[in-house]
Structures are given as structure tokens and as C-alpha cells.
Chain A
Amino acid sequence: MSEPILVTKDLKKNYGSNQAVQGVSFSVLNGEIFSLLGPNGAGKTTTISMLSCLLQPSEGDAEIGGHSITKDPMAVKRLIGIVPQELALYDALSATQNLNFWGRMYGLGGQALKARIAEVLDQVSLADRAKEPVGRYSGGMKRRLNIAVGLLHKPKLVFMDEPTVGIDPQSRRSILDMVKALRDEGMTVLYTTHYMEEAAELSDRVGIIDHGKLIALGTQKELTRLVGEQETLRLHFGEDLTGEMAVPAFHTVEGVLLATSTDHEVVLTVPEAAVALPGVIAAATKAGIRVRSVDIEEPNLESVFLHLTGRALRD
């Protein structure tokens, strides 16, 4: 990893009075996987859309490979690849026909395009289904083809906007392995997701984005240090008790720094789980709350987000 391939400078995007992206500044180094982690509606896709020159920023700029997205978008477009959140494919055409079309849109052609199509189809394990109409593919296969299109012209920087949304665990696994393989081959990836586990597994660095603002940026170690040495106690209840009903019982427990709830869980942030646990169980017993199970979690990106925003990553 060396010089930055992408530098954003105070990028903003307004839709009337709605500030979808508010002054986002970060850089992505050559050869790294950089994740933008944030809940739905945080501004991840809007940021990607500006960086890929699809949307004009309201203010600010970014440089990719030394070219400005506002002043020299054509040069930027030649350097980047995109794997959009939507499956941007033609269902009526086969994988080969899709790749042929998209390859030509990037100026590829002839034997070189043919060879490259064969290469990416192998890369995404679709070579044996290449001649079938894409409409007959499973969701996972379509996602892989979607990725193949983004890689066809060997971009210097590829944007992957939530590429695993709505697919089965096996296909997701395959895609995550593919992303890591891309980094190993020297490609730079800007990856957006609202899944903490994906960001944790893939990323060299993570930017946490919420309500259009970049609220934290760094390696996972640097980010988890933000929450100190805190750990998380996750209490699970039965169907008869919601987290919201139970959480008041734990606000006053000694050692509990923060108590939040989701569905049938209460999530407690504590300095040390082993020390706080007896008091928590006692409080539960006193309130007549039947705790089915308890998980002890070390600091992670989820807890970082919780610490910074007071909300869970997936509300």
C-alpha cells in the first residue's frame, strides 16, 4: 500500500433542503480494501454515485488517479469500475452477450475482449453457464456476473456497492473470497456495506458513515480503541418479552455504561463483562426477567457504531 488512488475533499450532496452527504473527506490507498460502513440511508450510495461521476456534487471534489471527478470525469471513468447495488444486467441476453456489450462500452473489442470475457467468467465461476440467458440465473449467479462486468476492463479502482445484498450465505461467501482475491492481485476496492461482519473481514481500513457524515475513519484496531476496553453483554429473552420492556431494569446496574434494546435482546456496554455479569443477572432476577442466554462480545465495529451514534448498525 502506498499513495492514495482516491482522495475526496469535503464532498457534499444536497437534494433541496435534504443534505444527503455532508462534507465527506477521506482517501483510499492503492491496493487496499476500504469499506464505507453505515446503515441504510447513511449516504454510502450517494457518495459512490458522486465518485463514479453519475451525480454532480453540490460542493467539494474528489480526485481519482490524479483526475478530478468534476473537471475530468471521462478520465476518471476510464480508471474505475463499478459493481452497483442493483443488478445492472440484461436478463434477455446471455452472460457472454452482456459482457460483450459492457466490454464495448469500455472500448474493448476483438480478440482481446473475447479473451478477457473468458477470464472473468472463470474468475466468477460462470464459464459453464455463459450462454444461458441471465434471466434464468439464481440471485447469487447474477451478483457474480454483476461483479464480472465491473472487472471486465481491469479498472484501477473498483466500487462495490453492497454486492451481497439479498443472496444466500454460500454466494455471499464466494463473493467475499473474490473481493479478497482482487486485493491480493493488487486491485483497490472501495466497498460499501451495512454488515459489520463484512467490513470486519475484508477491510484494511473502515470509514463509518451516518446521516451523510463520516463519523470515524481508521483501521479496525484504531476504531475499536475509540470505545476503550469496553465489552458488550448481549442478553437474549423469549418471545414473550421484548428488549424495550426489559431494558429499564438494567439502567441502574453498577458497571453498565450504556443499555440499548433490539427485538428480544438487551445490549449492555460494560468495562469488563466478567465483573458486570453477576450484577446484571441479579437485576434481571429482581425484575422477574427470564434471561435465556448471554453473549459476551469484545469490541467490534458494531460497538463502535453504537458508541458513536447510540444506535445499532441495523435498527
Chain B
Amino acid sequence: MKKILNICQKDIAVIMRDKGAMVLMLLAPIVLTLAMGAVTGSFSGRQATAGISDVPVMILNLDQGSAGAAIAAMFKSRTDYFNVEEVTDEAAARKAVQDDKVAAAVFVPANFSASIQAESGGTPVEVEVFGSSARPISVDVVQSFVNTIINQIEVIPVSLGVTANQLISSGLITPEQQGTYIEQMASRLMQNPRSSQSIDIRDISETKTEEGFNALAYLAPAMAIFFLMYTVTQASRSILDERDQGTLPRMLISPTRNTEVLGGKVLSVVAIAFLQVGVLVLVSAMLFRLNWGNPLPVLLLVIGVALGASAWGILLASFSKNPYQVTSLGTALMLLFGIMGGAFISVDSFGGVMKLISKITPHAWALDGFETLALGGTLNDIVVDLIGLLVMTVLLFGISIIVSRKRWATGFTR
């Protein structure tokens, strides 16, 4: 273990003396966060355009039934978050979104209620959320709110069906009365949003002020993780650099096992990644007065994303023939993962397939977790994200060792 730590310590010392690397690892993410924060108005005090308090939303309800009315009612009942206007003109609503006069327009189609209550096999109709690209956070929240309402509404006929069966078994209603019972009860439940399970939009408990949610709480981790891929590329590249420079063979000639030498190099990659994200968390908390959330889950998430990203870096080094290949591939991966993983546009804006594909990036899991924690989430709320990152780490590391078995066995000398 001492030798593993010795190697790790040496690698950290070496990379800290690389001014170029330090700029890209620490300075660039902070500068970009600042720039993007300025663009999104996070420093301007116009929190209505940046966050989820007072989010302007238009609702066009074409539904004839109670489900559409329930959606509108639920939005209107949350005056703490939404500033709702009911409209009748779809084209005007879309224009308002495109002109950034509102964050989003919610379109409830005709026959929405009927499609929910229909027998299975009917064609579902969907509620559309048409969002402004300039307000990704707000759109995200509107979409999430709509999804939550719909999930609850869809459950109502099913749960009422179960209740009806029990009433029939008890002889309180007849089978012929079942349909009428479900329709009336569903209508009543949907008309009264308070009678359904309340939808909990978590606030930032400690900083719930007029500011509300700070968009930097998304941007700061996004930029940290975007540049993390550079860091793990450089750190992993050092395995091949040291092979070519002769220091890796020299380590292998010392009375040190291959596993210790390579374990030290792998630990270096993870440690450097952890330090980078950790420093950025601390600096952004101080500079931008960001609340990342509960410290323990934040720490675990930082460890998780460091592991996940490092595993990608190690995979690159395992397959590359020389250090330059690691850098080229790493740069491509950095850009691709940044886009796919939500560093620039939230993955919630993606369609189903792209959203699924984004899960191969450590970004998608980590940003989901950081966003949850910044909104007041707890450790329980990010367990899935942590598991995702851990599975990614184990899988990629396993692939690296299995596919490049000979390389690992000979200490990368072949």
C-alpha cells in the first residue's frame, strides 16, 4: 500500500507543476461557469428567468374532461413557483415561448381524459411541453411537474378499479354500477388536486430566499465534469508517457509488484480527478456562494464521478498504442460526453433514445445527482446515480483489464 500511495503522491506532485494542466483543470471550468452564469443571468438578480420561482407558463387546455382541468388547476395552485396564464390560441402561445416571453407552454390535447380512462389498447395522447431554449432549468421543472401530475392521474383509474372490485365483492355496488362509479370518482379526484398526493417540489431549505434555485448549481458541476474528462485523459496518458520515458520500467525493476505499480497509477488518476472536482466544489461554494447540498452525499457523488470518469480514462490508456492516441481520443470523448451528458444542454431536453445513450457518460448520472442535491435532495435521492457511476466504474475497469490482459500483466511494457 505504501508504494501505491508513493506513486499516487508523485503523480499529483508532477501534475501540479504542469501549469497548462492546472489552467485546464481548475481555471477554465471556473471561468466558463462565470461566463455561462452571466449569459443566463444568474448574477443579474433576474431570478425569474434563471430559476423556478415565478416561472411564467401558458396553459392551453383542449381537453373536455376532468384530467385536463386537473392539470391546469394544479399549476395554478402552485403560485409559489408558477405564474400561470390560461390561453386559447396555440400559435400565440408558441410564439410567446419562442420570443422568450414565457418559459414554457403546456398543451393538453382534446380527448386527454378519455385516453386515460380508455381500456388498455387505446391510442394514448400526450401532453406537450413546448419550452424556451433560453430557460432550460425552468422548462425542466415544468416538464417534471407535468410528468408527475400525469403519473398520478393515470394511477387513479387503476386504483379506483381495485377499489370497485372490492366494493363489488362486499356487495356495496353491483358490477353494472362499476363503470359509473369509476367515472364519477375519477372526475371528483381529478377536479380536486388537493385530494391527490401533493407534488413535492423541493426547495433549497437553507437558502430559500427571493433568489430561489440558482442556475449556477447546474452550471458549476456541468463545467467541472466537462473538464474532468480532460483531467482523467492526462492522468491516464501518463501511464504510457512513463512507459516511453523509462520511469515505468524502472518502477517495475524495483522490488514492487506489477499490481502495486499499476494500482498506484490507477489510484493517481482517481485521486487527481477527485481533487479537481473537490476543489471546484469548494471554490464555487466560496466564490459564487453556491449551496451544493448536504455535504456527505455531495462528497460521495464527487467520489463516484471521479471513479466513473477515471474508468473511461483507464480504458483509453488500455487500448491506445501511444500517449498521443490517448490525448486525441480523450479530447474527442471530452467533447462528445460533454454534449451527450448534459454539460451544455440538460439531458431532459433529449428524446428517449438519446436520454438512454447519455447514461454511458459519467456526466448524466453526476449532473442528475448534483441537481437533486442542490434542490434539497438527500442521500436516498441520489442512490441510483451513485449505483450508476459505480457500475460504470466496475464495468469499464473490468473491460480494460480483460481486453488488455497482456498489457496489464506485463506492466504496460508490451
Identify the A interface with B (CB < 8 A).
Answer: 49, 52-55, 74, 77-78, 80, 82, 84, 86-90, 92-93, 97, 101-102, 104-107, 133, 149
Question: Which listed segment binds A: B128-136, B143-151, B226-234, B245-253?
Answer: B245-253
Residue of A nearest to B260 (CB): A105
Shortest distance from the beta carbon of B27 to any chain A beta carbon, whole Å: 19
With A55-B413, A78-B255 in contact, do A84 and B250 touch (Cβ < 8 Å)? yes
Q: Which 8 A-B pairs have the closest CB atoms?
A: A86-B246, A88-B246, A88-B250, A77-B255, A92-B17, A105-B254, A104-B6, A78-B255
Summarize B's interface: helix, strand, loop or mixed: helix
The answer to whether B6 touches A87 (Cβ under 8 A) is no
The answer to whether A93 touches B254 (Cβ under 8 A) is no
The reply on B174 being an interface residue by CB < 8 A is no
Shortest distance from the beta carbon of A22 to any chain B beta carbon, whole Å: 21
Most A-side CB within 10 Å, residue of B10, B18, B253: B253
- Provide the bound-state CA to CA distance between A77 and B14, in Å: 26
The answer to whether B413 touches A54 (Cβ under 8 A) is yes
Give the residue of A86, A88, A93, A105 whose beta carbon is less than 8 angstroms from that of B6: A105
Which residues of the partner chain B approach A54 to less than 8 Å between Cβ atoms? 249, 252-253, 413
Give the residue of B17, B246, B255 whose beta carbon is less than 8 angstroms from that of A107: B255
Which residues of the partner chain A approach B256 to less than 8 Å between Cβ atoms? 77, 105
Which chain B residues (242-277) contact chain A, with CB distance < 8 Å? 245-247, 249-257
The answer to whether A106 touches B255 (Cβ under 8 A) is yes
Residue of A nearest to B411 (CB): A54
Q: List 23 A-B contacts (CB under 8 A).
A: A49-B249, A54-B252, A55-B413, A74-B257, A77-B253, A77-B255, A80-B253, A82-B253, A86-B246, A87-B245, A88-B246, A88-B250, A89-B247, A90-B10, A90-B14, A90-B247, A93-B10, A93-B13, A93-B14, A101-B6, A104-B3, A133-B17, A149-B250
Which residues of the partner chain B approach A107 to less than 8 Å between Cβ atoms? 255
The reply on B208 being an interface residue by CB < 8 A is no
Which residues of the partner chain B approach A105 to less than 8 Å between Cβ atoms? 3, 6, 251, 254, 256
Give the residue of B10, B17, B245, B253 whose beta carbon is less than 8 angstroms from that of A86: B245
Which residues of the partner chain B approach A101 to less than 8 Å between Cβ atoms? 6, 10
Contacts across chains A and B counted by CB atoms under 8 Å: 61
- Provide the bound-state CA to CA distance between A84 and B252, in Å: 12
Which residues of the partner chain B approach A82 to less than 8 Å between Cβ atoms? 250, 253
CB-CB contacts of B1-23 with A at 8 A, as 1s and 0s?
01100100010011001100000
Which residues of the partner chain B approach A49 to less than 8 Å between Cβ atoms? 249
Most A-side CB within 10 Å, residue of B10, B250, B251, B257: B250
Which residues of the partner chain B approach A74 to less than 8 Å between Cβ atoms? 255, 257
Give the residue of B17, B247, B253 whose beta carbon is less than 8 angstroms from that of A53: B253
Shortest distance from the beta carbon of B271 to any chain A beta carbon, whole Å: 16
Which chain B residues (93-113) contact chain A, with CB distance < 8 Å? none
Which residues of the partner chain A approach B246 to less than 8 Å between Cβ atoms? 84, 86-88
**Given contact pairs A87-B246, A90-B10, a sample of 18 additional A-B residue pairs in the complex whose CB atoms are under 8 Å apart:** A52-B253, A54-B249, A54-B252, A55-B413, A77-B255, A84-B249, A88-B245, A88-B250, A90-B14, A90-B247, A93-B13, A97-B10, A104-B3, A104-B6, A105-B254, A106-B254, A133-B17, A149-B250
- Provide the bound-state CA to CA distance between A92 and B255, in Å: 24
- Provide the bound-state CA to CA distance between A139 and B166, in Å: 90
Most B-side CB within 10 Å, residue of A82, A90, A92, A105: A105
